């Protein structure tokens, strides 16, 4: 196998020949083109990893090759060969994305060094992409855990919007991970180097929210003894997370809308506007369209924020993720409490799988935290779990034998019952699916379908 593909583009025949022979001897797969046009044509035929191009050529010159390559094959590195005295152009080329340049006459050691660095960079990039793919496919997204179908759809949407500037509205019940999504969008996206700022619109007094968001000038009000930039300005280039946006006062909503439309903010007490480039992520567990209908939320702001909505499923809608989440939290708190290696026993896991989780992942996290803290050995037992999780008789308390007065979620209950029985069949069969299917008197295909539906097994299209 060759060390990689190099394309030489040079109108100087002897240099082309020399480079071809030398590169081949060094173990590269080499092709050569005599003009910029031929070079780009060779790339369309079979893209090279590195393009080594002369800068001054008739027709399409080295800069033209560079632009063409970077436009269509951004992962290919371009190295410029320049004549003595034209280094200024070479520096220009590097500003446009060339990896490096070498000056004629060059010695081969110098070229070798540049190529080695090029390929090192590429290897690292490939490895990073592969690793990220693996992490995303296997465990979730950023620090988000879960691989059920509804979560896979969430990750997919996040992946598509993370590098765009569009506003994102994250909805979902309390504790479903809305803040986690906001952070992941920032830290997995192209704004990750810039600041992430957040504000909880429900937790801050109405008269403070505007100075927090837009900043203030010295002397704007009593106590304002120096200028304060505000969240919009300090998140410049990054992301601003408006948590519990449904709680934002109507008067502030108008100003936020203006800031979004004009990309400018005016500090309280200031006369000048400041330009800001901020990506907005907002979250709410309220029904915003209903708030709009009731006149409590501005319709125009709603449409501005809601360019993309990421709706998080409730935990009861993705119970297949429960074992993985439990494992994640047990590891987290095991480490935090100085008890590495602690695990959740089968009985406790069954109790956890039987609960309806009105508080979603946060409730689960708290339950496991308590379990780890209160268990004596290195196995978490049901008695260490919160009583409302285990149920009165330590059975699967969330599966009632009659309909409670407040009503119930039949599909959810049936799904939990199904999950519980499938898990116990898999336990008996030692994880052998054909055996488990036999025990449940269903076909292997039907078992696989059910496992996919509850998110324990990946559907055939993913992974």
Ligand X SMILES: Nc1ncnc2c1ncn2[C@@H]1O[C@H](COP(=O)(O)OP(=O)(O)OP(=O)(O)O)[C@@H](O)[C@H]1O
Q: Which residues bind Mg ion (CB under 5 A)?
A: 179
Query: Is 336 one of the binding residues for ligand X (CB under 6 A)?
Result: no
Taking alpha carbons only, the member of 12, 10, 52 closest to residue 28 is: 52
Interaction partner, residue 455 (Mg ion, ligand X, none; CB < 5-8 Å by kind): none
Q: Does 148 bind ligand X (CB under 6 A)?
A: no
Tell me phi and psi for residue 168, to 5 degrees: -125, 135
Separation CA 457–CA 451 (nearest Å) = 5
Residue whose tokens read 């059910």: 450
CB 265 within 8 A of CB 230: yes
Question: What is the size of the binding site for ligand X (CB under 6 A)?
Answer: 16
Q: What token pair was written down for 361?
A: 């992942």
Tokens representing 279? Answer: 């990506």
Q: Which helix (H) or strand (E) is 65 found in, with range? A: helix 62-72
Q: Which does 174 bind (CB under 5 to 8 A by kind): ligand X, Mg ion, none?
A: ligand X
Candidates 65, 79, 111, 145: give the one binding ligand X (CB under 6 A).
145
Residue 362's alpha-carbon distances to 128, 154, 178, 267, 413, in angstroms, are 31, 18, 11, 36, 21
Tell me how far, at minimum, the Cβ of 281 lies from ligand X, in Å. Answer: 11
* Least Cβ distance, residue 178 to Mg ion (angstroms): 5
Terminal Cα distance for the chain, rounded: 28
Cross-strand partners of 50? 6, 77
Using CB under 6 A as the binding rule, whether residue 144 contacts ligand X is answered as yes
Which one of residues 31, 147, 162, 178 is an interface residue with ligand X (CB under 6 A)? 178
Report the 3 state secondary structure along 18-38.
HHHHHHHHCCCEEEEECCHHH
Contact between 146 and ligand X by CB under 6 A: the answer reads: yes
Per CB under 6 A, 68 contacts ligand X: no
Near ligand X in 343-362, by CB under 6 A: 361-362
- Options 77-85, 175-183, 233-241, 407-415: segment touching ligand X (CB under 6 A): 175-183
Query: Quick one: tokens of 36?
Result: 């910029």
Give the β-pairing of 140-141 and 144-145.
antiparallel
- Smallest distance, Å, CB 204 to ligand X? 14
Subset of 260-299 contacting ligand X (CB under 6 A) = 285
Determine, following the binding rule CB under 6 A, whether residue 368 of this chain makes contact with ligand X: no
Count of beta carbons in the 10 Å neighbourhood of residue 338: 6
Q: How far is the CB of 152 from ligand X (least distance, A)?
A: 12
Rounded to the nearest whole angstrom, what is the least distance from the CB of residue 262 to ligand X in the complex? 29
Site for ligand X in 153-172 (CB under 6 A): 172
Report 2-61 residues binding ligand X (CB under 6 A). none
Nearer to ligand X, 42 or 243 (CB): 243
Nearby residues of 156 by Cβ (< 8 Å), 6 or more positions away: none
Stretch that binds ligand X, among 105-113, 121-129, 177-185, 189-197 (CB under 6 A): 177-185
Residues at the contact surface with ligand X, assessed by CB under 6 A:
144-146, 172, 174-180, 285, 328, 361-362, 365
């Amino acid at each position: 196998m060759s060390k990689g593909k190099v394309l030489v583009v040079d109108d100087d025949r002897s240099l082309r020949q020399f480079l071809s022979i030398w590169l081949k001897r060094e173990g590269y797969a080499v092709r050569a083109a005599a003009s910029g046009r031929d070079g780009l044509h060779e790339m369309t035929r079979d893209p090279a990893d590195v393009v080594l191009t002369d800068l001054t050529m008739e027709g399409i010159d080295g800069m033209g090759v560079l632009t063409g390559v970077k436009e269509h094959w951004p992962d290919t590195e371009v190295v410029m060969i320049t004549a003595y005295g034209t280094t200024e152009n070479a520096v220009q080329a590097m500003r446009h994305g060339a990896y490096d340049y070498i000056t004629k006459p060059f010695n081969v050691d110098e070229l070798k060094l540049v190529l080695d660095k090029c390929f090192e960079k590429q290897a690292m990039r490939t490895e990073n992409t592969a690793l990220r793919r693996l992490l995303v496919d296997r465990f979730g997204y950023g620090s988000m855990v879960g691989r059920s179908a509804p979560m896979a759809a969430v990750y997919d949407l996040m992946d598509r919007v993370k590098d765009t500037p569009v506003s994102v509205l994250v909805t979902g019940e309390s504790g479903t991970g809305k803040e986690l999504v906001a952070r992941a969008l920032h830290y997995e996206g192209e704004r990750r180097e810039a600041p992430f700022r957040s504000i909880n619109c429900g937790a801050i007094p109405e008269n403070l929210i505007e100075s927090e968001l837009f900043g203030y000038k010295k002397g704007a009000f009593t106590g304002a003894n120096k200028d304060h930039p505000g969240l919009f300005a300090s998140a410049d280039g990054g992301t601003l997370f408006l948590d519990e946006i449904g709680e934002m006062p109507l008067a502030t909503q108008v100003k936020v809308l203006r800031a979004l439309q004009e990309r400018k903010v005016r500090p309280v007490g200031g006369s000048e506007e400041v330009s800001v480039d901020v990506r907005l992520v907002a979250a709410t567990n309220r029904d915003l369209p209903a708030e709009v209908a009731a006149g409590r939320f501005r319709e125009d702001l709603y449409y501005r924020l809601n360019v993309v909505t990421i709706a998080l499923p409730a935990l009861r809608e993705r119970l297949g993720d429960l074992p993985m989440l439990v494992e994640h939290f047990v590891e987290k708190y095991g480490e935090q409490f100085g008890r590495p290696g602690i695990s959740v026993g089968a009985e406790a896991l069954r109790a956890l799988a039987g609960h309806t989780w009105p508080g979603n992942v946060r409730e689960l996290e708290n339950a496991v935290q308590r379990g780890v803290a209160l268990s004596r050995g290195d196995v978490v037992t049901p008695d260490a779990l919160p009583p409302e999780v285990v149920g009165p008789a330590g059975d699967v308390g969330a599966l009632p034998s009659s309909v409670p007065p407040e009503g119930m979620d039949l599909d959810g209950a049936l799904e939990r019952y199904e999950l519980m029985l499938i898990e116990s069949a898999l336990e008996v069969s030692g994880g052998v699916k054909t055996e488990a299917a036999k025990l449940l008197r269903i076909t292997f295909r039907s078992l696989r379908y059910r496992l996919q539906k509850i998110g324990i097994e990946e559907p055939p299209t993913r992974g």
